Structure 1
Amino acid sequence: MTKKGNLHIFPSLVCVIAPVTFLITLALATKLGHVAMLPYISDTGNLMPESCIFSQFLNLTALCMLMCVYIRYLQVKSMATFKTPIGPRWDANDISWYMGFLACLGMDIVANFQVHNIYQVHYVGALLCFVGGSVYFAFQTMFSYHMSKVDDSKYLFYIRCILCALAFIFCTSAITSGVISDFGYTGTDSSKWKKDDGGYKWHLVSTSSEWMLAIIQSALVVSFFPEFRRISMYSPKFEIRGVNDVQSENSAPKEDA
């Protein structure tokens, strides 16, 4: 089996591709007049041509993030000396894996279902991505506390504690102020929200909170970097019924008659 290192490239890719994508789509959408000042992240990838860039690279980000979730799951499973059972068949690491998977799925949904096309599906994806992502990182913070007892990584626990607290604050702020602003909105195009459309201040609170949440969750992904640098994986070994069996028989030493 081949040994694979450099796993820290996955959190690095997530934290480079996502911000660069958002900045490019924001610049394009603003230049083309598709959005007003400080829009939601999703609004920057709502119309062509920026929607093509948004979808392509956010899909790639979701794939890299899923790899981070999987590597972290295996790390906790192999390294942790603690058990946190949740029912007869579940433990916290299993729950965190599914939450991480749902967050990545939500990111993929956000990338492919633009808000002005199928907004119901888009909002479900956004909730999975941001709320599910915040819950996922809360689990990772808990794991960091226990794992710091067996390696020198207590600083990561404190960093993740602060970032997770901020993530939940901004997640709550983005959702709450977004709902309030929608009730007061009287305009016709929410991607070009104007001051006289109603609920404008609450809208700015919501959009700025969403951008801050995206930055904080990116920082939480970056926190995997020092741990993933010390991890190596081995490529899987495949066995094909009817092929490997024949090869094994042919390679076996034959007895003299």
Structure 2
Amino acid sequence: MSCWLLLPLLTSVVSIAGTWTVYGLALRNGHVCPLYNWVYNRSCSPDTSVRCCSVRNMPFVSTSGMNLPENSLYSAVLNAVSVLFALVCIFRHAQIVERKGDEAVLSKAAMIIGFFGSIGGFIAGNCNPSVLMVLHYFGATLCFVSGCIYTILQTALTFRLHLTGKECFLVPLRAVLTIFQVVFSICYLAFFVHPDTKRQHIGAICEWILATNFYVFIMSFSFEFYYITSAVLYALISRPDDEKVAILSEPRGTNMATFDK
């Protein structure tokens, strides 16, 4: 068994368990309202003894990690996941180049999109929305949009490639997860900017669903990562003049024919 299958599993577990733990801490500390709450007030008195829900503490993912002490865990989780997801993108691309060079262009595009998503997650995790709102929402938007495109590209690659022999199961699974990702991303963006609090609350629920759904999608890469071999690792460290193209960038003077085996 290849230990590399643990990489997408670890990425997903850290993200899902970490963000939901942040939400639990924020809920216990009274910093956000429950996801099942649908009643919001215009404002809340700071000295009230009864839980009061307003737009300020609506349970978005970023709101859950806005205050101390959960803010520290929120930043740590997003930083760790950003690095792990970038590694998943690199190894996924390396495996495709090593096994099927014809799809290297599409795979490289997916890897670059994945890098944008990692950068967006890093920005969102380190820019508190209460202080750096514009940067935070820029990072979050970059993360979610890149996530949508990444799932679409990887589903297309799964359909076109046969690396594991389990594509009859993986293609429909990833197609369903991709549809969910696109639909809930559109709903989140539409409801997030809506002035009605109930629709904003629906947007918060959509955000949690799409964030969790994306890392379930990443978890499915464990099937491909089980088959990672030393040849894939060699592709990662090969010199530019070797027969396999460098994974992260093309050397000067090469063309796309370098991808062919």
Give the TM-score normalised by structure 2. 0.76
How far off its partner does 1:83 sit? Answer: 4.5
Of 54, 61, 67, 1:41 maps to 61
Amino acid at match of 1:172: I
Structure 1 pair 176–17 and aligned structure 2 pair: CA distance change class (3 A): same
Contact map agreement 1:100 1:132 (CA 8 A) in 2: yes
How far off its partner does 1:123 sit? Answer: 0.8
Give RMSD over aligned pairs: 2.1
Contact map agreement 1:148 1:154 (CA 8 A) in 2: no
Contact map agreement 2:163 2:224 (CA 8 A) in 1: no
Match of 2:72 in 1: 52
How far off its partner does 1:147 sit? Answer: 0.7
Question: Whole-Å Cα distance in 1 between the matches of residues 32 and 25 of structure 2?
Answer: 10
Question: Whole-Å Cα distance in 2 between the matches of residues 83 and 25 of structure 1?
Answer: 39
Alpha-carbon displacement from aligned partner over 1:99-157 (angstroms, at most 9, x marks no partner): 00000111111110111111111111111111101101110000001113884423111
Match of 1:93 in 2: 107
Of 155, 165, 168, 2:169 maps to 155
Unaligned runs of 5+ in 1: 85-90, 185-198, 239-257
Amino acid at match of 2:118: C
Which residues of 2 match residues 63-142 of structure 1 at below 5 A? 63-80=83-100, 82-83=102-103, 91-142=105-156
How far off its partner does 1:232 sit? Answer: 2.2
Amino acid at match of 1:201: K
Structure 1 pair 200–113 and aligned structure 2 pair: CA distance change class (3 A): same
Contact map agreement 1:55 1:112 (CA 8 A) in 2: yes
Amino acid at match of 2:147: G
Contact map agreement 1:102 1:128 (CA 8 A) in 2: yes
Q: Alignment partner of 2:134: what SS?
A: helix
1:14 aligns with 2:14: no
Amino acid at match of 1:76: I
The higher radius of gyration belongs to 1
1:61 aligns with 2:81: yes
Of 203, 207, 213, 2:204 maps to 207
Amino acid at match of 1:6: C
Question: Whole-Å Cα distance in 1 between the matches of residues 103 and 24 of structure 2?
Answer: 47
Question: Whole-Å Cα distance in 2 between the matches of residues 83 and 207 of structure 1?
Answer: 37
1:25 aligns with 2:25: no
How far off its partner does 1:21 sit? Answer: 1.3
Contact map agreement 1:82 1:146 (CA 8 A) in 2: no
Question: Whole-Å Cα distance in 2 between the matches of residues 61 and 151 of structure 1?
Answer: 29
Question: Whole-Å Cα distance in 2 between the matches of residues 15 and 118 of structure 1?
Answer: 27
Contact map agreement 2:8 2:221 (CA 8 A) in 1: yes
Q: Alignment partner of 2:4: what SS?
A: coil
Contact map agreement 1:80 1:146 (CA 8 A) in 2: no
Moved over 6 A (4+): none
Give the TM-score normalised by structure 1. 0.77
Question: Whole-Å Cα distance in 2 between the matches of residues 16 and 147 of structure 1?
Answer: 26
- Identical residues among aligned pairs (%): 24
How far off its partner does 1:98 sit? Answer: 0.9
Match of 1:231 in 2: 228
Match of 2:183 in 1: 169
Question: Whole-Å Cα distance in 1 between the matches of residues 25 and 224 of structure 2?
Answer: 36
